[in-house]
């Protein structure tokens, strides 16, 4: 998706890879496994430093969980960045079979965005400095604070690049 918008991309697997990027996308997946892999690969702390230094970062689904200030139902050994002032509940929209698609009104977009929610996290608290960009059934599903943007859905699974364009405006 980012390449289709003209961005050069690198898969970040090492500290050397991290040094090559100006921004980072933290994708969906399983947040406790991602937390573990970030620690064992010794990437957690260098990424935390870059986020602290205002590197733009976009977290989708599990990436949103890792960027949150608090995880209501996370594992005790799960690490997260606390980069955006939101609290998250993992898999709050239900199991895999309860995944769904819906159209969302998004701040800055002229027409609705078709979003896919797959075992999605739910924002259970939003800090005062967080800009809410979209809601679904009275729950925040897209937000931004400073250089951090998060989505509880998977914008990369559509052919619509507008959410990624919003993120690239920060880079």
Which domain range does residue 156 map to? 3-168
- Count of structural domains within the chain: 1
- Contact yes or no for 167/58 (Cβ under 8 A): yes
Nearest of 93, 144, 134 to residue 117 by alpha carbon = 93
Cβ-Cβ contacts under 8 Å for 63 (sequence gap 6 or more): 25, 26, 27, 28, 29, 34, 150
Is a pLDDT exceeding 90 seen at residue 30?
Answer: no
CA distances from 62 to 5, 8, 25, 34 (A): 23, 23, 11, 8
- Residue 32: CATH number of its domain: 3.40.50.880
pLDDT in tens, 94-135: 777 778 999 999 999 999 999 999 989 999 999 999 999 999
Which amino acids are annotated catalytic?
61, 154, 156
The full DSSP string for 30-57 is -HHHHHHHHHHTT-HHHHHHHHHTT--E
Tell me whether residue 130 is exposed, middle or buried, using C-beta atoms within 10 angstroms of its C-beta: 0 to 12, 13 to 18, 19 or more: buried
Q: Is the pTM for the entire model greater than 0.85?
A: yes
């Amino acid at each position: 998706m980012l390449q289709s918008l003209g961005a050069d991309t690198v898969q970040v697997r090492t500290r050397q890879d991290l040094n090559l990027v100006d921004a980072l996308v933290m994708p969906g997946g399983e947040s406790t496994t991602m937390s573990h892999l970030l620690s064992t690969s010794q990437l957690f702390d260098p990424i935390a430093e870059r986020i602290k230094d205002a590197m733009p970062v976009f977290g989708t689904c599990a990436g949103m969980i890792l960027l949150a200030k608090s995880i209501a139902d996370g594992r005790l050994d799960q690490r997260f960045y606390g980069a955006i002032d939101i609290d998250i509940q993992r898999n709050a929209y239900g199991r895999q079979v309860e995944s769904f698609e819906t159209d969302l009104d998004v701040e800055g977009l002229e027409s609705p965005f078709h979003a896919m929610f797959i075992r999605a996290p739910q924002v259970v608290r939003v800090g005062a400095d967080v800009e809410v960009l979209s809601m679904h059934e009275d729950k925040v599903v897209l937000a931004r604070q400073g250089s951090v943007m998060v989505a509880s859905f998977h914008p990369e699974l559509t052919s619509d690049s507008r959410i990624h364009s919003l993120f690239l405006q920060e880079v």
